[in-house]
Amino acid sequence: MGFYRCEISFLYHALMPDSLNHLPVHPLWQSPLTIPGGTRQSPINIQWRDSVYDPFLKPLKISYDPTTCLHIWNNGYSFLVEFDDSTDRSIIDGGPLENQYRLKQFHFHWGAMNDWGSEHTVDCKFYPAELHLVHWNAVLYPTFEEAVMEGNGLAVIGVFLKLGACHEGLQTLVDALPAVKHKDTVIEFDVFDPSCLIPSCPDYWTYAGSLTTPPLTESVTWIIKKQPIEVDENQLEAFRMLLFTSDGEEEKRMVDNFRPLQPLMNRTVRSSFQSRHLLNAEVQPKDHAEQMRP
């Protein structure tokens, strides 16, 4: 336990800007009892220069049927857009995956402010929000619940949200959010194609990790897209108008619903693309030699 706290606090204090030294921590993560002693926990900081280009990684293939979308559910921690996963109508394959995986749900994590909110970070940089599209391996496992317990059971696509132009695809969803303001509310939300939320750039990082909400099982092949999508301030504010609390309870805004960073341990983050850091490193010896000339 001590190791985890030490490692995480080292990360924040050594590498974060001063203003981010004291990130808010959701009550779910304030007790050390909720930190399991695993070796492949998520989220992590993706250190760009330490990621390893893997030329054998294939492009990720995404095929979603918009009619499999069922409803939106405020579960008291985020809002989940859930899909009919009884057949192979909305699936992904390729990328780092050996099987086809079925879309179960997607949801977001976000901050009270734009300076933080994502779960993963890139070179210790937080984005204001992060989208997770959760899929399960229906080739090897009969149910989602069984897949959650297995090392290759789940595949989650992570997409960073950054502040910019209004995202028209997301707006359809944003318009529906007031109806699920309170915890435990569900509305019908049929016909939505979440591929509109996935950036066109094919580049991604991948690593073996865990769920970032209980049961935190180490069952996830993470596929983190390099390119973020743009959303505007009003869209992020619509997320922040949701509540952690049920109707009748004292209102608590749904913000800062992300898990703190976990140690990388003995893991490698692979990239589907060649790193610009590597290219920079290759030209450095020449620059250095030139500087040494009289």
List interacting residues with Zn ion (CB under 5 A): 132
Q: Are 34 and 28 in contact (CB under 8 A)?
A: yes
- Which one, of 98, 101, 121, lies nearest residue 111 by Cα? 121
Instruction: Give the shortest CB-202-to-Zn ion separation in angstroms.
Output: 22
Q: Which spans in the chain are helix H?
A: 2-15, 144-147, 168-176, 233-240, 276-292
Q: Which residue is nearest to Zn ion (CB)?
A: 132
Q: Count CA atoms closer than 13 A to 57's CA, side-chain side.
A: 19
Vertex 160 angle, CA 155 and 165, to 5°: 140
Closest to Zn ion by CB, 109 or 167: 109
Closest to Zn ion by CB, 106 or 189: 106
Closest to Zn ion by CB, 132 or 182: 132
Instruction: Give the shortest CB-91-to-Zn ion separation in angstroms.
Output: 20
Instruction: Give the shortest CB-211-to-Zn ion separation in angstroms.
Output: 8
- Which one, of 267, 158, 136, 170, lies nearest residue 204 by Cα? 158
Instruction: Give the shortest CB-148-to-Zn ion separation in angstroms.
Output: 13
Instruction: State the residue for tokens 């990790």.
Output: 209
CB-CB neighbours of 104 under 10 Å? 21
Instruction: Give the shortest CB-42-to-Zn ion separation in angstroms.
Output: 9
Q: Are 242 and 79 in contact (CB under 8 A)?
A: yes
Closest to Zn ion by CB, 27 or 59: 27
Closest to Zn ion by CB, 75 or 275: 75
